[in-house]
Structure 1
């Protein structure tokens, strides 16, 4: 079960009559010399951690030590319950609230699963649990979705970046959004090719996204970028399921992300030297938190 690109992954799945999750499960078995049950159980434990993070962020009073994040996931959840004007749709906002919840738990030093990084940890659980509610998915389907996301993340990591320090936030939130879109497509009964289209649609709408954490902390704008990543992933999945295709092939979109990240200035790659971190308010918050500016 060897593959390096998304095209190779899709070809392998379709030629063998397998789902992307099947391919990735078998790859994990071969790589780590483990049984299917062992591999599946380990991923199921990750799903359990994700669920606990969602619940913690939505049910408890979460506030980071810096005070930059916390409580916004609950605001969105309350808005869903109380408002008659759901401009984005309840399912999209569900994904948003759950994505923010996990990200806020991360900022408050809670336990999360890096998917693919801690800074982008909320998008996949937010989308998987929302899709499961909408589709009535069982636990096995949800665990399989994580294997789908892992397969896409593997391809991105091998051909571009998943680190904000290397490629900007497009490499973190962008990758997580693409991984989540592919996962939701398989949950909805889509084909491997449709999952690949969802990856391209999601990722190309994140190209150029800079990594500019205020005060160097993974909180602002990270939490709200997780929220928007969750929304984009859900829409990209629907577009792919509707038969919409990316003009640019998936692997070429990933290649473009690599080139953009390579060309991006250092000030916009997790250094807190540019972007939102360098605004007047960003510097003021940095001085309040640490007592002085990094400048």
Structure 2
């Protein structure tokens, strides 16, 4: 790639009068020696998977195999239809869709890791709800995914996108930053504004630990996807309004690396700390362990 930092993306786009998505499509095509149209076609397929995950999460049973989660995406959508939301229709719809996609993941459905399975709901939640609100074409949304991909590329190569390495700030945080920056571009903002949106988003998730109950990507992961979608919209609005990240976004990414590296191992996807080790979290874990032993015993007898 011709860039390794966000400020380089902004500079190239400014000098060459390009959007982030156009730059990323060109770079991806060159790096993989693949025609640009084929690169776009592959991303279009990914977007179809995202839309299907939202549809399934809103219309089908998404109770996970553990029985711990499922149906919250539908609950928020129903609440939205009541017309009494606190956060507004746009936020509630993005939240509902993000929850739905994450629940499809937990119920062993097909999703796109954006950038990971644990953070798979944020970008689809933001993108598909926005497409419905603004009437954007699939082509427009796919270009937005390339903008998100460019941002994710920078984060992954300068910090973390894995909860096991850097905590949930690396998974949910990265997804929020990717969605926020891409949303700015989708709304017609400048590459510079998109870069500021990333910094604004990431600053709000610094230090977020990864503490999955029973080691499953369910509690609190799914709820964090829903709230992450709302944060992404807020960061995009700030940037579009002219709010700037006082700390340059690349430096925020560097801090994410610093904080993640210093984070105790028990707070990095081991389920040995945080919410996973609350009294309720431990009871859930013990209950699941007991159920698995019972199932294994029944299997042995048969």
Shorter-chain-normalised TM-score: which range? over 0.9
Q: How does 1:114-129 map to 2 (within 5 A)?
A: 114-129=113-128
Residue 92, structure 1, aligned to residue 79, structure 2 = no
Which residue in the other structure is 1:62 paired with? Answer: 62
Residue 42, structure 1, aligned to residue 42, structure 2 = yes
Which residue in the other structure is 1:198 paired with? Answer: 197
Q: Distance in 1 between matches of 2:235 and 2:132?
A: 18
Q: Distance in 1 between matches of 2:206 and 2:236?
A: 18
Q: Distance in 2 between matches of 1:85 and 1:114?
A: 32
For each residue in 1:101-141, what CA deviation from the matched residue of structure 2 results, as whole angstroms up to 9, or x when unmatched?
A: 00000000000000000000000011011122222211111
For each residue in 1:214-242, what CA deviation from the matched residue of structure 2 results, as whole angstroms up to 9, or x when unmatched?
A: 00000000000000100000011011000
| Contact preservation (8 Å) 1:135, 1:188 | no
SS in 2 for 1:79: helix
Q: Distance in 1 between matches of 2:184 and 2:242?
A: 12
Which residue in the other structure is 2:255 paired with? Answer: 256
TM-score of the two chains, using structure 1 as the length reference: 0.97
For each residue in 1:196-216, what CA deviation from the matched residue of structure 2 results, as whole angstroms up to 9, or x when unmatched?
A: 011011110000000000000
Q: Distance in 1 between matches of 2:13 and 2:137?
A: 22
TM-score of the two chains, using structure 2 as the length reference: 0.95
Q: Distance in 2 between matches of 1:272 and 1:139?
A: 39
SS in 2 for 1:291: helix
SS in 2 for 1:245: coil
Q: How does 1:1-295 map to 2 (within 5 A)?
A: 2-82=2-82, 84-291=83-290
SS in 2 for 1:228: helix
Q: Distance in 2 between matches of 1:10 and 1:273?
A: 40
Number of residues of Structure 1 aligned to a counterpart in Structure 2: 292
- Give the unaligned 5+ runs of structure 1: none
Q: Distance in 1 between matches of 2:289 and 2:18?
A: 52
Question: How far does residue 244 in structure 1 lie from its aligned partner after superposition?
Answer: 0.5
Question: How far does residue 36 in structure 1 lie from its aligned partner after superposition?
Answer: 1.1
For each residue in 1:14-65, what CA deviation from the matched residue of structure 2 results, as whole angstroms up to 9, or x when unmatched?
A: 1110000001000110011111110000000000000000000001121001
